[in-house]
Structure 1
Amino acid sequence: MSAILTVTFNPALDMTGSVSALQPGDVNLVQNYTLHPAGKGVNVARVLTDLGATVAASGFLGADNQDPFAHLFTEHGIADHFLRVPGVSRTNVKLVEKAGRVTDLNFPGMAVEQADIEALTARLLSLAEHHEWIVLAGSLPPGVSTEQLTTWITTLRDAGKKVVVDTSQHALRAAVEATPWLVKPNEAELAQCLNAPISNEQAVLLARGEQLFNQGIANVVISRGVDGVLWRDKEGWLKAVAPAQSVVSTVGAGDSLVAGLVSGCQTGLSKEAALCRAVAISALAVTQVGVGVRNDEDVNQLIEKISVSPVELSVHAE
């Protein structure tokens, strides 16, 4: 089984704090907090290792605060191929309220130079020789254009790699133009990508997702929070919904979903089995702070409770 490569262009140290209820414009007392290495691709790599995959990770990493990341990679057996660049990787702040609402303060990250981009490009091409599955996840740091993202995706796709993309806003639009193997927007990200009105009606979401599929993206996955996940491939649309969980934090749930999908596809699970497993992993992620599969038995038990069914596309959907 080939190794999986995850690429995080804009990693971060995530500071997650708990507050009773956020009071904008006032002093907020944080009850407790954690600080850990993150970034969407880093989170995906972390979950994949728990699922038994052989994982390598790359991207840009600030040389001045790399130690927590290096420790994480060593601890979990993730092959470290990050390009160190001068400066510090950003710190993002996530405030989790008792009711479950999360407020993200995501900073832009350190700027990278053209020489760094060229060095990372050479590294990705070298790594691609030994990795069939490549996950590009998260935002772009200052200095990296959406055109560069399109070039990376196109190059890897043309090399026969299964490129999975999880990003948002302008980066997602650029990624879609390059037709990767799989994209995973949530409802709001899908609407932004297509410059279409945001609607959580399933028929509308299916029609929007169908647009991406018809552009040549083989797998379109739409995450909908408590309303489940929709997946379109050549077999049609499939929907899976997990039972409601006691939410501690939703941070990392989408990354856990991506890891579960890639793991399931790589190991040859059927579409239904891969989706159920991924949704179970994602659902359990909201019951904890930080990512990681802590108990395989919990995942297996939740899989049995997931509702999964095919969905027909309405010809009247707009």
Structure 2
Amino acid sequence: MARVLAITPNPALDLSIGLERLVPGDVNRARVCRTSPAGKGNNVARVLAGHGHEVTVTGFLGAANAGAFEAAFVEWGVVDGFVRVPGETRTNAKLAEADGRVTDINAPGMAIRDGDVGRLAEAVAAEAGDPPDAVVMAGSLPPGLTTAMLHAVLEPLISAGVPLWLDASGTALDAGLALAPALIKPNGAELAACVGRELVSPADLIDAGRELQGRGVAEVAISRGADGVLWLTRTDVLAATAPPVTVESTVCAGDTLVAGLMHGRLSGWPDIDTLAFAVALSADAVTRIGVGRSDTPVFETLLGAVAVHAVDIEAPVE
């Protein structure tokens, strides 16, 4: 299998709370409550390691509460390359309601100093000496980490020709776009922010994705929630929809989708098979609190029910 470096600049402990319905200003009774080490890049790494890839995780981790992450990295089977910084890694609250609505309450993260960035740059440069097959950077940027700093950290990998997979929004997405990533995975709102206009229809989404490809992005996977995924590869546009499932939490669905696409690509699968696998894996993820798994009894059923087709961009897109 492949070697992957997963960068999570701003990881978090996720406090996932499942409840019937959130009533602001009232006492709410949780059906389930769980705290787990997370961060988008860590979630991707967890899925990839579970499918046999050799994964190193890195970014900035608070020294004061690193223990939970260290135990998780051992459990997941990933190599811990995180730079320890003073303080505690943030805690984010995810409030998942029975109808599938999720309310995120995200903390800003620890303030990062120049010396911390220098240590991360050294760690990444060491990885570039024996380049991995791919690097994925996912999630937000912590306070103090500028776009220029991020580019300096990633430059050795980019210069070594390592493909960059990017799953981010806001400042982190803007910073990554300048590095001509191999793939980005925006949702509709994030894509609209990138191109600076409202995107109403699937055709609008495709046009916006093509615009980003014209600006140097190789591929764009547009997540559309229950409406599925549009994947603009270098040559085609593929659309996929998943069967309806009982939703427990949508928190890790996007991270699982990215990992599924990476797994298929790194395994040399055809694009149609890769997209079907990734969408089924993401559908499995929403049935639980946590990432998707392909070793569940229902996964093969989900995979068989995923519909994938090539989009004729000359015809109306539904």
TM-score category, normalised to shorter length:
over 0.9
1:235 partnered with 2:226: no
- Contact 1:203–1:314, Cα closer than 8 Å, also in 2: no
Question: 1:26 Cα shift?
Answer: 3.0
Matches within 5 A, 1:140-289: 140-199=141-200, 201-289=201-289
Partner of 2:137: 136
Offset from partner CA, 1:142-174 (integer Å, 9 cap, x none): 010123334444542222001100000122122
Listed as ranges, the matches of 1:112-123 within 5 Å are 112-123=112-123
Residue equivalent to 2:312: 312
Counterpart for residue 84 of structure 1: 84
Pick closer, same or farther for the CA change 1:158–1:297 going to 2, 3 Å: farther
The range that moved more, 147-156 or 255-264, is: 147-156
Partner AA of 1:173 in structure 2: D
**1:249-305 CA-partner distances (Å, limit 9, x unpaired):** 001000000110111100100111111101110011000011241625533332221
Offset, 1:55: 1.2
Instruction: For residue 82 of structure 2, give the secondary structure of its aligned residue in structure 1.
Output: strand
Show structure 1 runs of 5+ residues with no match. none
Query: What is the DSSP-based 3-state SS (H/G/I as helix, E as strand, rest coil) of the residue aligned with 2:288?
Result: coil
Amino acid at match of 1:64: A
- Change beyond 3 A, Cα 1:316–1:196: farther
Q: Which residue of 2 aligns with 1:73?
A: 73
For the residue of structure 1 that corresponds to 2:157, the secondary structure is helix
Contact 2:131 2:162 in 1 (8 A): no
| Counterpart residue number, 2:302 | 302
1:162-219 Cα offsets, whole Å, 9 max, x none, are 11000001221221122111111111111112222142x1010000111111112111
* Cα distance change on mapping 1:253 and 1:271 into 2, 3 Å: same
Distance in 2, matches of 1:144 and 1:113, equals 8
Tell me if the contact between 1:7 and 1:135 (Cα under 8 Å) persists in the aligned partners: yes
Cα distance in 1 between the residues matched to 2:86 and 2:276: 42
- Partners of 2:225 and 2:217 in 1: CA distance: 22
Provide, for residues 210-255 of structure 1, a one-character-per-residue CA deviation record: whole Å limited to 9, x for no partner: 1111112111110111111111122210111111111110010000
- Structure 2: tracts of 5 or more residues without a match: none
CA contact 1:207–1:313 (8 Å) conserved in 2: no
- What secondary structure sits across from 2:220 in the alignment? strand
User: Given that residues 13 and 38 in structure 1 are in contact (C-alpha distance below 8 angstroms), is that contact kept between their aligned partners in structure 2?
Assistant: yes
Summarize the alignment of residues 28-39 of structure 1 with structure 2, pairs less than 5 Å apart. Answer: 28-39=28-39
Kindly provide the amino acid, as one letter, of the partner of residue 185 in structure 1. Answer: P
Contact 2:184 2:220 in 1 (8 A): yes
User: What is the Cα-based RMSD across aligned positions, in Å?
Assistant: 1.7
TM-score (norm 1): 0.95
Distance 2:207 2:153 in 1: 28
Distance in structure 2 (CA, Å) of the matches to 1:111 and 1:292: 31
Does the residue aligned with 2:30 lie in a helix, a strand or coil? coil
In 2, Cα distance between the equivalents of 1:26 and 1:170? Answer: 34
Query: What amino acid is the match of 2:83?
Result: L
Measure, in 1, the Cα distance between the counterparts of 2:207 and 2:39.
30
| Secondary structure of residue in 1 paired with 2:273 | helix
Judged with a 3 Å threshold, the aligned counterparts in structure 2 of structure 1 residues 152 and 180 are, in CA distance, closer, same or farther, namely farther
Percent of aligned pairs with the same amino acid: 44
SS of 2:148 mapped into structure 1: helix
Count, aligned residues: 316
